[in-house]
Chain A
Amino acid sequence: MTTATEITDTTVREATEWLFTEAELLDAGKYREWLDLVAEDLSYVVPLRVTREREAETDIVEGLTLMDDDWDSMEMRVLRLETEYAWAEDPPSRSRHFVTNIRVAAGEAEDEVAVKSNLLLYRTRGDVATFDILSGERHDVLRRVAGGYRLAKRVVVLDQTTVMTHNLALIM
């Protein structure tokens, strides 16, 4: 029998703290530690959006995506950044994850919570006097495990149709 978790103040606080800790690790480039927060059945998807008329049901494309990762490819992403050959992110860009509007709801499984958050990701690289900003909504599934939560699923809905940054070789 599966019953949805009751969302208590404690759950909200724990999920919020999890997101903030995650952001800190990502901005500090501690990707290996970040991987420890990720479930082995991870699904990480960045869908495409297109410009449609208002009456269209959705502007999210079913077909091609911008990113579609699992644990293996995420681990490889981290391994890649640890080599001397990840030219696109070496020297690395400087990033800051601003995580707001956190909404916690019951997940589909008893040990999961569904967490929505707004993300503003600021990024600069080298001495260039301009910056990139990515804005989007993250739809996460956090799974409760001994000693905390693991990220089981993330969908990042970006507020743009064209990628407005150097690359997406970073974790949102």
Chain B
Amino acid sequence: MSLLDDHVVTGTGLVDEDTGRGRFRVHRCAMTAPEVLNRELAEIFNRCWLYVGHTSEVTEPGDYVRRSVGGRPVFMVRARKSGQVKVFHNTCPHRGAVVCRADTGNTKIFQCFYHAWTFDTEGRLTGMPGRDAYEGGADFAELSLREVARVEEYRGFVFACYDPEAVDLVTYLGQAREYLDLVVDAMGEPEIVAGSNQYSINANWKLLVENSIDGYHGPSTHDTYIKYIVSQGTDIRSGAGGGNAGYDLGNGHGVIEYGAPWGRPIAKWDPLFGENARPGMEQTAQDLARRFGESRGHAMTHTNRNLLIFPNLVINDIMAVTVRTLMPTAAGHVEVNAWQLAPRDEAEDVRAQRLDSFLTFLGPGGFATPDDLEALESCQQGFASGGVEWSDISRGMGRDRAKHDDEEQIRAFWRQWQAVVEGSAR
């Protein structure tokens, strides 16, 4: 076995940081080797906190949504008696069939159709045909739906973790919390807009992680998007001087912040919103500045942020607020799910423009995301050529304070990725 084979199997030595030389690089087999994916599934997706959904998706007792979390089928339900949001493994404790078979709905019970075992929304086994056959002492509590080991919520964002020993969610989120706070506080009462865009990319999932918090590729990759919004009357100079920065938030989380060169639906008016929306948005900006202070209010209304919560949740607070999860199905394939978060009481015309802006940039037929996907697939194809073993992620290493188009936030992800994959983060 070569040295590299050894690295691949153990997941060590795939990230190489040399601060003396200002060099940070990632071995490309981290993106191509199935062995590395196996380690990721075991060490990352079975141990880290993963986003499940938002409490606004299950407001009424009995509301449920079905999800794939870390590649496993689960469902989230607002339990009818306790009112709690619960996340269950989507499998019948009897013989295994999935018990939740629709994407969304409202129900009093979940019934496994195979042998008609019935569970209430708290997960309790409440009925089965021929119960007398179990009089030998079956433990009905043990045969109830199994909750995911850990489920916690932070300000409406529901996370689950398959590792019962994991740290609590607030500790896990660490400094990333204050960026979630900015998103939530700006909206007051956020809700997920019904529906999500689901698509897949023939590229390693970490390439999409990098891309989601990469301020460097914007001008080159997204030239046609910028031209489009300029043609619609947007003044892209309005984003200048926005305190552009990239931050390592610890625990693998990272964020970039930059002045918005385009309108933001909370309260940075732009011609695309129409004159009717202008007074309301300007009022909102003033209200937020009054409630949260000038600086924090301005950050909510005029600053873009692309936030990565390790390992696979991206919140893009840009011309709309996108909540995006990524999950690998192979070293060279990732499935993506993208939701929209918006204020519950948003004016109709602002909501319409928000959704339009999302589709125009981030939709699968938009003017930007297809080009991102093209870039990621192009990287994956390039890896197959060999010859170059390492990808370079050194941009901005010498600076005291990283800019948003540096790669510090991407390095933050990779440092934690290496520690978790090799098992030294535990």
Q: Which residues of A contact B (CB under 8 A)?
A: 46, 48, 50-53, 56, 61-68, 72-73, 76-77, 80, 83, 85-89, 161-163, 166-170
Contact = CB atoms under 8 A, between A and B. Distances in A.
Contacts of A83: 223-224, 227
DSSP majority for the B interface?
mixed
B370 A72 contact: no
B104 to A, nearest CB: 6
Contacts of A68: 355-356, 359
B228 interface: yes
B385 interface: no
B371 A63 contact: no
Nearest to A70: B356
Contacts of B196: 48, 64
B355 A64 contact: yes
Contact of A51 (B102, B194, B221, B364): B102
B121 interface: no
Given A51-B102, A52-B103, A64-B355, A163 B370 contact: no
Given A76-B228, A80-B228, A85-B224, A64 B340 contact: yes
28 contacts: A46-B365, A48-B195, A48-B197, A50-B103, A50-B195, A51-B66, A56-B105, A61-B195, A63-B193, A63-B355, A64-B193, A64-B194, A64-B358, A65-B355, A66-B363, A66-B365, A67-B363, A68-B355, A73-B228, A80-B224, A80-B367, A86-B224, A88-B371, A163-B200, A167-B364, A167-B374, A168-B365, A169-B370
A56 B104 CA distance: 10
B367 A163 contact: no
A53 B100 CA distance: 10
A52 to B, nearest CB: 5
Contacts, number: 108
B104 A50 contact: yes
A41 to B, nearest CB: 16
B363 A85 contact: no
A56 B102 CA distance: 10
B199 interface: yes
Contact of B364 (A56, A61, A66, A80): A66
B232 A53 contact: no
Given A63-B194, A67-B359, A161-B198, A51 B365 contact: no
Nearest to A67: B365
A51 B65 CA distance: 11
Contacts of A73: 228, 360
Interface string B96-118: 00000111110000000000000
A167 B196 CA distance: 15
Contacts of B105: 52-53, 56
Nearest to B198: A162
- Identify the interface centre among B105, B228, B360, B363: most chain A CB within 10 Å of its CB: B363
A30 to B, nearest CB: 19
Nearest to A77: B367
Nearest to B338: A64
B353 to A, nearest CB: 11
Contacts of B224: 80, 83, 85-86
